[in-house]
């Protein structure tokens, strides 16, 4: 079993879900028939895929057979997504940060910066996309900058270069 991403939003009214992923061989997504959702901590429930569309480097939209409404889909927001056979799906190197989408970002002083919209891979550089003071901005993400990650509270504390956020004031 291998983690491939996280459900970050609902799409439309029929129960479609948007999954932020870190799969490097996106063509393999279309061959998936079932995914596992960690509905409760340690419980991995299989869901059968009805259709997959909108595959990009960052996310894809899918419809599970078992979910047929927007309201039902909302119950799965922020759930981690896994595949049974990790051999068929390749994830991006050691910097698999996609699960941070939806996490609260704080700076080195503990001040809230905002909720992470998504993680972007830009060549060798990973970036956090966040809505800050009415603008979409990108903040560098590297293991050396991470102070702490609390998966239970869905927070990440990151060392942000002095003056970087002030650029957006």
- Digits of tens for pLDDT over the chain (169 positions)? 788 888 989 999 999 999 988 777 777 778 889 999 999 888 899 999 999 987 777 788 999 999 999 999 999 998 988 888 766 676 654 346 777 888 999 999 999 999 998 888 765 678 899 998 888 899 998 888 989 988 889 999 999 998 888 887 6
Q: Distance between CA 63 and CA 165 in Å, rounded?
A: 38
The fold adopted by the segment(s) 100-168 is SH3 type barrels. (2.30.30)
Domain ranges of the chain: 2-83, 100-168
Residues for the chain: how many in total? 169
Alpha-carbon dihedral 114, 77, 127, 120, rounded to 10 degrees: -150
Fold of 2-83: Elongation Factor Tu (Ef-tu); domain 3 (2.40.30)
């Amino acid at each position: 079993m291998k983690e491939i991403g996280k459900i970050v939003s609902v799409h439309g009214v029929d129960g479609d879900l948007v999954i932020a992923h870190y799969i490097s061989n996106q063509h393999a997504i279309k061959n998936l028939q079932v995914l596992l959702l960690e509905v409760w901590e340690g419980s991995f429930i299989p869901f059968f895929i009805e259709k997959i569309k909108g595959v990009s480097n960052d996310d894809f939209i899918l419809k599970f057979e078992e979910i047929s409404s927007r309201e039902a889909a909302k119950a799965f927001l922020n759930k981690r997504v896994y595949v049974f056979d990790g051999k068929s799906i390749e994830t991006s190197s050691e910097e698999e940060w996609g699960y941070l989408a939806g996490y609260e970002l704080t700076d080195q002083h503990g001040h809230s910066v905002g909720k992470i919209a998504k993680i972007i891979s830009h060549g060798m550089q990973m970036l956090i996309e966040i809505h800050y003071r009415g603008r979409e901005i990108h903040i560098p993400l590297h293991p050396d900058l991470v102070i702490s990650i609390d998966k239970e509270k869905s927070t990440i504390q990151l060392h942000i270069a002095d003056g970087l956020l002030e650029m957006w004031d």
